[in-house]
Structures are given as structure tokens and as C-alpha cells.
Structure 1
Amino acid sequence: MRPVVQETYGPADLSGEAIFAGGFINFGYWRAIDLDAPLTEAERIRSQEDLYRHVLGSVGPLAGVRVLEVGCGLGMGCALALRECEPAAVTGMDIHPQQLRRAHSAHAGLLRRQPGRLRFVQGAAERMPLPDGEFGAVVSVEAAQHFPDLAAFAAETARVLRPGGRVAVASFFTVDDAPGRPGQLAGLLKTYANGLDIARPVTALTEAFTAAGLTGVRAEPIGQHVWPGWDLWLGRQWATGTWPRNFLRAYEQRILDYYLITAGRR
């Protein structure tokens, strides 16, 4: 585990921060939310849930399917998948042991009431401690920007998917591979300057999926439904000109965008 990841998600519970209401840690998908009206915590939670719904819906019907979430954090997305998609079982995998302890605590009742349908395991995206072909769907929500080796993640995803299985990844990437992009982002955003987020073009993941043998690889930009709502929500806590508000600026300057990347195994 990279030290900056260990520090960010370890001692303090990032999911407890007000900007990540409800225990999720994502920027949200705000398409169904009226951004001209005052935002409430309920709408913030809905934006995060809707991001999961958008990702889960992109891998097709999940009834009776075994689902893996890579980078599950507190496991709120795993619980949503169980509640709304009727999968056979959901596995939440995270590299951080403290996050997994929090996930077990947050979902102790669900783990007890539905044994075998939800589990949490520790593992890296590049080295998944899981059998070949175990899952019909692999999803990852706002975690791939931390993965140090996208090629290894893609190869492991292809390995754990069963034939006919699908993968969906939601994360933010640079819009192209222009050499100056990492420096631009480091100058705008603290998370790129300290190395928590890694500046790579979206093609780094799409090409990795193709090289791993996955087919139908597609990257859909969804930033218009992410960045404006996220920035409005940040405005409750962060003033204009502070570094978190520069996510929207990077999007408007066509440096960074948010993508849904999907693919399948033959």
C-alpha cells in the first residue's frame, strides 16, 4: 500500500467528513438533482447512491450474479447493491485494513442476517486474493485514480470475471496524454501534488482492458453530471479559490474529466 493511501484512509475516517455524507466517499452523480435549489444532506447522499446505481446499471441485470467491488471503502455501495439489485452475493475488497474494520462494524447486522451474501476481504487491485472466474460483475467506484498499476488491475479483473461477465469503473482521468497534464493537476489540486491521485489519461485504462483480453471497451465522459454538483456541495465548506474547488476548474479547462469505463469478458 502506498504511504499516502495508508495515511489518507487510515487514522481518520474520511467517510465521516461532512462532504462525504452517509458514509460514501465519492463526488456524486447529480443528474437527477435540482442544482438550482439549495442542496441538503439527503440530496448529497442521493448523489453518491446514484453514482453507484449508474455504475451497477451499466453492467446489466445483477439478479443472481456474484458481484465484486474493488476499493469498497466502508462498504456502503456493497450494501446498496444487495438492497436494490438482488445479486447472489457481493464481495467488497479494499487494500486498507482499517477501512475493512469499519466496513465490518458498519454492516455487522447485515453480515449476521444474510450470511454468505456479503463479505469483505483485504486485497490490492493489482493482486486480488480471489479465484479465477468467480464473478459475473466487477465494479469500482472512484478508486482507480489511486491504483498504481492499471495494467495489473485490468489483468486481475479479466482473471476473476467469468465468461460473459462485465466490468464497470467510475473514476476521473486526464482527457488526453499531453505531457504537461500531471504538472497542471499538481498545480491545481493537493491530491495530485501529494500523489494520492495519479494523473493518467482515460486511455491508460481502456487500453489496459483491451490488452487484458476484454472486449467492447468503452469510456463514457460523465463529468457534466459530476463536477458542477460536486462543486456546489463543496461551496458549503470551501471558499472559491481553495484547492478542492479546482476540480471544476480542471474540468472547465479540459484537463480532467470523470468517466464510466465498461468492458466485458467473452
Structure 2
Amino acid sequence: MLSSGDPTEQSAPVVRPEVWETYGPADLSAVPVFAGGFINFGYWKAVDLERSLSQADRIRSERDLYRHVLDAAAPEGGRAVEIGCGLGLGCALALEEYGPTAITGVDIHPHQLQRARKANSALLEAQPHRLRFVLGAAEDLPLGDGEFDCLYSVEAAQHFPDLSAFAREAARVLRPGGRVAVTSFFTVGGAPEPARRLAGLLDSFASGLDIARPVSRLADALTEAGFADVRTVSIGPQVWPGWDRWLSRLWAPGTWPRNFLAAWEQQILDYYLVTASLP
């Protein structure tokens, strides 16, 4: 039977200082731009960007990004694991709408797991056999071999220090035929000096919180780890304009968060969905 787990019972993974500070006591999910407790830029395809945006629009965009990834991961009837689960609201959405047998949420930050257990306390109590939260790094998952039918990650891979190690761990914990679906932002192939240019535009890259790498780095890592049918699809048109419209409520043009749209328009950065299957 799955349980909620206790991070104090596991060896603590090493957390990069930038990640520790950003997702620590300050609670990034409480920042107004991340309405509703999700921490992602959103998938805005179903939102009318020509009118004034509401908090309900913002929350829908965040939930729809999860739905877009979960559609690709196909967790129905299987055991699923989310890497970088944050407050676990995506795990709860998957349980409610996609019918997996069970979901494990993994996060590297103990404070995030504390919040996840609090935010999902009713669900953990009502369905302890279907949901648990575990402390662990994407590159060294505290999970069993072949334990899962699908693995997904929503806007966390930009923080992973070692994509190759993540891909190997994904292959290890998935059963044959398992699916992986990852969405995040990566540099555009062929963009000149992307790391330097992004550091000049965006504080999150300058600080080292976000790591500048081409999406091909993840695709190649998945292939090398034994995955097949590796696909990368840009979903930037459904992410960046809506994210910028939402940011414009709080940030003036030319301030660094508004430069995400600029980085996309300059073809330095894009948002991708990466999928693969394990033979």
C-alpha cells in the first residue's frame, strides 16, 4: 500500500542553493502570478487573450498545461509518477480526471513536500492507497525498478542539473511500454550564445535557477537511455503570449519577467513538450 511518506525517513538529496531559496520558506506558489497554487506559466489555448484576464483564466491555464502533459503521458489505469510535483495539485488533478491506479509525487525540496501534504491532506486521508509524496532528486529517484507505467514532469526540467541522469532514472523506474512526458522551456537549436543572451534578459537564468540547454539535450538523453519514438513539439504559441499578458498586470514592459516573451520572439528560448516510450 502506498503511504504519504516522510522525508525525514529518507536521505536528503542535495538541493542547489538557487532552488532551495526559490522554493523554500518564501513559498513561490503564494506569489500572485502563480494563482491557485500551481507553479507554471500556463497553457493558454482555451483562454481569450483579447479580453481582460481573470484569476480564473490564470488557474485554467495552469490546469490546462497539466492536462496537455497528462494527455500525452496517458496515466489512465496505470501507476504514474510526477517529477517536481511542487504542491501536488497536478497529482490531485490527475487522480480526479485521468483515472490512474496510483500517483507518486516526487520533489527535491522538503518544504514543497510539506505544502503538498497539507494541500492534499483530505485526499491523502481518503485515498492513501492512491497518492503519496516522496523526497527525491530527478537524477536519483528513491523508487523501485519498473514501478510505474508513466512518468511526467511539468515545468521542472529547467532546474535539473543532469538531464542524462534524469533520463536514465526515468528508464529505470518505468516498466517496458511505459511513457514519459516532460514539458518545460529550453533554448532553441542553433540560437547563438543562448546562455549569455538569456542571462542578459532574464534574472532566473542569470542567477542559475534556470539552466540554458537546447531541447535536443533532453531528446538525446532519452534516446541514449533506451527510449524510442522520442518527439519534441513546440507549444510556445500556447504559452508565451498568454504568460506575458498575465505578467503585464504586475510588471511593466522591459522588466525582466516580461523578457520571456522577448526571448521567444528573438528565437532564443521556447517551450516544448517532449514525449517518448520505453520499448
TM-score tier (shorter): over 0.9
Q: 1:5-54: per-residue Cα shift (whole Å, max 9, x none)?
A: 00000021100111001100000000011000110000100000000000
Q: CA deviation at 1:63?
A: 2.2
Q: Secondary structure at the match of 1:226?
A: helix
Q: 2:89 matched to 1:76?
A: yes
User: Runs in 1 of length 4+ with deviation above 2 angstroms?
Assistant: none
Alignment map for 1:1-266 (pairs within 5 Å): 1-60=15-74, 62-176=75-189, 178=191, 180-266=193-279
Distance 2:76 2:245 in 1: 35
State the SS of the aligned residue for 1:18. Answer: coil
Question: In the TM superposition, what whole-angstrom CA distance separates every residue of 1:134-160 from its partner, at most 9, and x where no partner exists?
Answer: 110100000000000000000000000
Q: Distance in 2 between matches of 1:209 and 1:97?
A: 27
Q: Percent identity?
A: 65
Paired residue secondary structure (2:144): coil
- Per-residue CA deviation, residues 53-98 of structure 1 (Å, 9 max, x unaligned), is 00000123x2221010000000010000000001000100000000
- The count of aligned residue pairs is 265
Gaps of 5+ in 2: 1-14
- Contact 2:108–2:135 (Cα < 8 Å) also in 1: yes
Q: CA deviation at 1:176?
A: 1.4
List gaps (5 residues or longer) in structure 1: none
Deviation at 1:177, TM superposition (A): 5.1
Letter in 1 for 2:210: D
1:160-180 Cα deviation digits (max 9, x unpaired):
011111000000000015551
- Residue type matched to 1:122 in 2? L
For 1:166, the aligned partner's letter is R
Q: Answer whether contact 1:177 1:200 (CA < 8 A) is retained.
A: no
- Output the CA distance in 1 between the equivalents of 2:17 and 2:152: 24
**Which residue of structure 1 aligns with residue 6 of structure 2?**
none
Distance in 1, Cα, partners of 2:113 & 2:76: 25
Answer yes or no: is the 8 Å Cα contact 2:147–2:173 preserved in 1.
yes
Native 8 Å contact 2:188 2:270 kept in 1: yes
Instruction: Tell me how far apart the structure 2 counterparts of residues 4 and 253 of structure 1 sit (CA, whole Å).
Output: 26
User: Cα–Cα, structure 1 residues 66 and 13, in superposed 2: closer, same or farther, change >3 Å?
Assistant: same
Question: Secondary structure, in 3 states, of the residue corresponding to 1:184?
Answer: helix
Q: Per the alignment, do residues 5 and 177 of structure 1 end up closer, same or farther by CA in structure 2, a change over 3 Å counting?
A: farther
If the length of structure 1 is used for normalisation, what is the TM-score?
0.99
In terms of mean alpha carbon deviation, does 256-265 or 168-177 score higher?
168-177
* Counterpart contact for 2:191–2:267, Cα < 8 Å: no
Give the TM-score normalised by the residue count of structure 2: 0.94
Provide the C-alpha distance between the structure 2 equivalents of 1:63 and 1:183, rounded to a whole number of angstroms: 42
Report SS of the residue matched to 1:39.
coil
Aligned residue type for 1:70: I
